[in-house]
Amino acid sequence: MELKIYFTKDDEHFIVDYNVIANPFATSLADFLYLDFSQDDAWSHTFFSGVDISQLSAAKKKQLIAEATALQKRLGTLFDAVFDAIHTEHTMQEKLAWYSQARDIDPRFSFSDLTIRYERMQPDLYPKSIEEIAEFFVRECLRRELRFRRCKSCGKYFALTGYSNTEYCDRLFGNSDKTCKEAGAVRLYRTKIIADPKIQAYNRAYKKRFAWIKYKKISKEAFYDWSERARVQRDRCLAGEITLEDLEKWLREN
Ligand SMILES: [Zn+2]
């Protein structure tokens, strides 16, 4: 099976036996970092689309896993030091120069003499190894000055294309059918509700009242009775039946 890889402005293309696999650019590079080779589905990653895993001997497979695991580690240090979108005060070229010279970085990703063909307008790669695939991507990311960010939800790197203030990735979140981005949006919505001034007014009054129990200013029973009535007022306020001022007045006077 011969594998050919090329990039367009937005996408990466892997062509094997006339089949084209297309993903948003650099998706496969970022995903490669997190492959778990104890799981069979790791082999369905596009980096291995030129390899027929079922035809590999146990020894060859073991060797490929060792190679891929070592590559993951080298790419990991490169992502942390160069591609991570934190510290934007330095250019990627500056970071790369620092990364290449730093003595305490181990293992480090290094560049080879990659043979890239130019058949059309864009460069094509016929990779001989997964290292070459990774390097092809790394070079292109550097050329595009593409930065990556750790997803706020799953902690994995994702490429900052398009809206660069995105904080969540498009991977599926845990075992759900939602992506981190969709799950993140739900979470943001929840934090917004908690920050609602009506709920805050109720929460403040609730805490104050609750402390009164300790100082024996109010009995537990009276407190629970009050909090039940206060919740009714809060919900009326959330439903728009009374204003925030009405609610605050009620909370002060009851
Ligand atoms: Zn994520």
DSSP string, 129-178: SHHHHHHHHHHHHHHHT--EEE-TTT--EEE--S-TT--S-SSB-TTSSS
Pair (108, 220) in one structural domain: no
What is the CA(64)–ligand 1 centre distance, in A? 27
CA 182/CA 34 separation, integer angstroms: 21
CA 202/CA 48 separation, integer angstroms: 57
What is the CA(169)–ligand 1 centre distance, in A? 4
Pair (116, 207) in one structural domain: no
What is the CA(218)–ligand 1 centre distance, in A? 48
Pair (144, 200) in one structural domain: no
What is the CA(150)–ligand 1 centre distance, in A? 8
Pair (30, 90) in one structural domain: yes
What is the CA(172)–ligand 1 centre distance, in A? 7
> Tens-digit pLDDT profile for the chain (254 aa)?
689 999 999 999 999 988 899 999 999 999 999 999 999 899 999 999 989 889 999 999 999 999 999 999 999 999 999 999 987 788 999 999 999 998 888 899 988 877 777 666 678 899 999 999 999 999 999 999 999 999 988 899 999 987 667 889 999 887 778 899 888 877 766 666 667 888 889 888 988 888 888 888 888 888 888 988 999 999 899 888 999 999 999 999 98
Q: What is the 3-state secondary structure (H, E, C) of 9-58?
A: CCEEEEEECCEEEEEECCHHHHHHCCCCCCCHHHHHCHHHCCCCHHHCCH
What is the CA(10)–ligand 1 centre distance, in A? 20
Whole-prediction pTM: 0.72
Please tell me whether residue 4 adopts helix, strand or coil conformation. Answer: strand
Find how far residue 189's CA is from the centre of its chain.
Answer: 19
Pair (18, 127) in one structural domain: yes
Range of the domain at 78: 3-148
Structure tokens at 87: 């510290």
Find how far residue 141's CA is from the centre of its chain.
Answer: 17
Pair (143, 202) in one structural domain: no
Pair (97, 23) in one structural domain: yes
Residue 185 lies in a domain: no
What is the CA(194)–ligand 1 centre distance, in A? 24
What is the CA(219)–ligand 1 centre distance, in A? 48
Residue 204 lies in a domain: yes
Pair (127, 20) in one structural domain: yes
What is the CA(153)–ligand 1 centre distance, in A? 5
